[in-house]
């Protein structure tokens, strides 16, 4: 199985559907607390009007009108700089950075947010500075895969929030972004704790139908999924999707992440036709907003994985190639998402009988993951298993053993792993041991464990019978 891709990284706008925004900086009165508005009536009116227009940016983002929001916030960054009111100028830059990231350009968003932070700090505006820090948690820690730096931004954002009295919307943003950072870094226990705290905050402050819950439920569901907890994962995704349909309608692009996330758990549960329906719906909704975003790439990846499960490897390869092109354009040549696409291409190439090409892609992904994530991140299991499978297909089972052993280590305690993924690794390793004439007793033990782990994954029945025959076992009916 290739690596499924959660669509949870779509962030909700800071203020949603009439809900309050940042308590300390969402209006002219809040701005006056950091720097007094000028006495000149005309200039004062211009600043207040600019603030009202800046509030509209979130409404446009909620409607998925990112191009209109981007054009408006670009105009406002220039206007607020001309007006000379630094807190408002910093707030406009935070909005600009967030929109740059939403439109798939985190490398441009980072310096924009750092500039906003510097201006807010100089103006003494803790609310805007905290918001800039919170956005940097997401952009730097998750999107640009610099987790430790992202955690530092989270601590600084929390300190600012505490000094402001922990306004609810700011606290929600910090908790959500920290949860997503930890999810991306592979620490699902920490991610679950942060996500649950954020969900409890939103339900307490805004109620069980608040739109801010959608991205948090998608995140919680994704955490459950990678831990092999498929039933609670599906329940969380369906609650998120139902929430958007009731509040915004089924055609709203905000439904795309929940469709995509639901597809991943249905895929893991071998319900491929149903998964493909949701994955293609997610892709269509994401593309209705913009063809070149990280969300489109994630949706392409998920559609590709389902085509792989349906044995349509040529279509899977084409989808992975499209996802790779989008990701390279957004993130550059070296990023964990780029490595993920390389792994997907490698698996498709091996399945198409082009094992040498597939091996090269998997090795390229492994080198990239090692550089960016270190040698203990769970994503490396896909690289190692892909390399092992390619070597096995090339008739080099002895060489396949080391990478497959490495994959199994990453899919064993204390790592949080879907048992189906662990079972896949056990099965391929058992096959390599049997083919290489290695330790047959260990191969049989691995086969037994794989049979248990894959008991709810009927797609693997054929592979199980093949390995059983290799070991002289009676094939499972």
Considering the domain boundaries, does residue 357 fall inside one?
no
pLDDT of residue 36: 65
**pLDDT value of residue 475:** 56
The predicted structure's pLDDT at residue 120: 95
When mean pLDDT is compared across 192-206, 384-398, 454-468, the lowest value belongs to 454-468
The pLDDT score that the predictor gives to residue 417 is 73
Domain containing residue 197: 20-203
Range with the poorest average pLDDT among 23-37, 197-211, 321-335 = 23-37
**Any idea what the CATH number is for the domain that residue 174 is in?**
1.25.40.10
Residue with tokens 């499960």: 309
In a domain? residue 360? no
Closest by Cα among 327, 321, 325 to 347: 321
User: pLDDT digits over 99-138, tens only?
Assistant: 888 776 788 999 999 999 999 999 999 999 999 999 999 9
Is residue 74 over pLDDT 50?
yes
What confidence category does residue 26 fall into, taking pLDDT thresholds of 50, 70 and 90? very low
Q: In the prediction, which pLDDT does 99 show?
A: 87
In a domain, 376, yes or no: no
For tokens 């948690």, what's the residue? 137
Under a CB-based contact definition with an 8 Å cutoff, are residues 33 and 24 in contact? yes
Local structure of residue 458 (DSSP, 8 states): G
Distance CA 198, CA 324 (A): 33
Residue % of the chain over a pLDDT of 70: 90
Mean pLDDT of all residues in 380-392:
97
pLDDT in the model for residue 389: 96
Close Cβ partners of 168 (under 8 Å, ≥ 6 residues apart)? 20, 23, 201, 205, 206
pLDDT for residue 318 is more than 50: yes
Q: What is the pLDDT of residue 11?
A: 46
pLDDT above 50: residue 20 = no
Calpha distance 139→152 (Å, rounded): 13
User: Which tokens is 397 given?
Assistant: 């089972």
Segment 425-439 shows an average pLDDT of 91
Q: Which of 49-58, 218-227, 396-405, 434-443 has the highest mean pLDDT?
A: 396-405
**pLDDT above 80 (res 276):** yes
Average pLDDT (414-432) is 85
**Is residue 291 over pLDDT 90?**
no
Look at residue 410 and tell me whether its pLDDT is greater than 60.
Answer: yes
CA distance linking residue 351 with residue 390, whole number of Å: 9
* 48 vs 323, more confident: 323
Residue with tokens 């220039």: 78
In a domain, 337, yes or no: no
pLDDT tier, 30 (very low <50, low <70, confident <90, very high otherwise): very low
| Distance between CA atoms of residues 49 and 56, nearest Å | 11
Distances (CA, A) of 439 to 389, 444, 445, 446, 471: 18, 9, 10, 11, 11
Residue 2 has a pLDDT of: 61
**Nearest-angstrom CA–CA distance, 464 and 454:** 9
Cα-trace Rg, the chain: 24
Roughly what angle, to the nearest 10 degrees, separates helices 419-436 and 440-453?
A: 160
What is the mean pLDDT of the segment spanning 426-446?
91
pLDDT score of 62: 63
Sign of CA dihedral 458, 2, 375, 215: negative
Task: List phi, psi (to 5°) of 417.
Answer: -140, 140
What total number of domains does the chain contain? 1
Residue 136 within any structural domain of the chain? yes
Q: Is residue 374 part of a domain?
A: no
Asked whether residue 361 is domain-assigned, the answer is no
What counts of helices (H) and strands (E) characterise the chain? 22, 0
Angle at 438 between CA 435 and CA 444, to 5 degrees: 80
Label residue 4 by pLDDT band (50, 70, 90): low
Which pLDDT value is given to residue 102? 76
- Would you say residue 12 has pLDDT above 60? no
Q: Is residue 66 part of a domain?
A: yes
Range in 31-35, 243-247, 352-356, 362-366 the model is least confident about: 31-35
pLDDT band for position 144 (cuts 50, 70, 90): confident
For the chain, what is the mean pLDDT?
A: 87
pLDDT bracket for residue 330 (50, 70, 90): confident
pLDDT at 290 (0 to 100): 81
Residues 6+ apart with CB under 8 A from 130: 157, 160, 161, 164, 170, 174
């Amino acid at each position: 199985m290739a690596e499924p891709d959660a669509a949870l990284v779509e962030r909700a706008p800071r203020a949603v559907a009439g809900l309050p925004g940042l308590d300390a900086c969402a209006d002219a009165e809040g701005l006056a607390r950091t720097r007094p508005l000028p006495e000149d009536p005309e200039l004062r009116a211009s600043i207040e009007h600019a603030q009202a227009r800046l509030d509209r940016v979130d409404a446009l983002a909620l409607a998925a009108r990112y191009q209109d929001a981007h054009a408006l916030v670009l105009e406002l960054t220039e206007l607020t700089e001309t007006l000379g009111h630094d807190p408002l100028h910093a707030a406009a830059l935070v909005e600009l950075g967030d929109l740059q990231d939403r439109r798939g350009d985190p490398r441009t968003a980072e310096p924009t947010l750092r500039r906003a932070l510097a201006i807010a700090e100089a103006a003494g505006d803790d609310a805007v500075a905290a918001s800039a820090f919170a956005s940097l948690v997401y952009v730097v820690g998750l999107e640009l895969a610099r987790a430790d730096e992202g955690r530092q931004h989270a601590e600084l954002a929390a300190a600012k929030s505490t000094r402001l009295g922990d306004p609810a919307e700011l606290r929600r943003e910090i908790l959500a972004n920290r949860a997503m950072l930890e999810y991306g870094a592979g620490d699902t226990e920490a991610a679950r704790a942060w996500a649950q705290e954020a969900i409890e905050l939103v339900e307490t402050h805004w109620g069980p139908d608040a739109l801010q819950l959608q991205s948090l439920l998608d995140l919680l569901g994704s955490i459950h999924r990678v831990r092999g907890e498929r039933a609670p994962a599906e329940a969380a995704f369906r609650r998120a999707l139902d929430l958007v349909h009731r509040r915004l309608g089924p055609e709203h692009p905000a439904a795309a992440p929940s469709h995509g996330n639901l597809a991943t758990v249905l895929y893991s549960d071998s319900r491929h036709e149903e998964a493909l329906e949701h994955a293609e719906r997610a892709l269509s909704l994401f593309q209705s907003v913009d063809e070149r975003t990280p969300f489109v790439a994630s949706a392409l990846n998920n559609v590709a994985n389902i085509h792989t499960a349906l044995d349509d490897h040529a279509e899977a390869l084409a989808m992975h190639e499209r996802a790779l092109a989008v990701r390279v354009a957004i993130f550059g040549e070296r990023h964990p998402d780029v490595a993920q696409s390389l792994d997907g291409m490698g698996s498709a190439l091996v399945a198409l009988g082009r094992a040498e090409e597939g091996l090269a892609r998997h090795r390229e992904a492994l080198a990239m993951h090692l550089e960016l994530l270190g040698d203990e991140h769970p994503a490396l299991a896909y690289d190692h298993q892909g390399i092992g499978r390619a070597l096995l297909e090339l008739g080099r089972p002895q060489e396949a053993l080391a990478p497959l052993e490495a994959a199994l280590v990453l899919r064993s305690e204390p790592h949080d792993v879907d048992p189906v993924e662990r079972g896949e690794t056990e099965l391929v390793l058992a096959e390599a041991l049997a083919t290489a004439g290695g330790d047959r007793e260990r191969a049989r033990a691995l086969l037994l464990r794989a049979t248990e782990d894959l008991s709810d994954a009927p797609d693997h029945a054929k592979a199980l019978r093949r390995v059983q025959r290799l070991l002289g076992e009676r094939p499972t009916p």
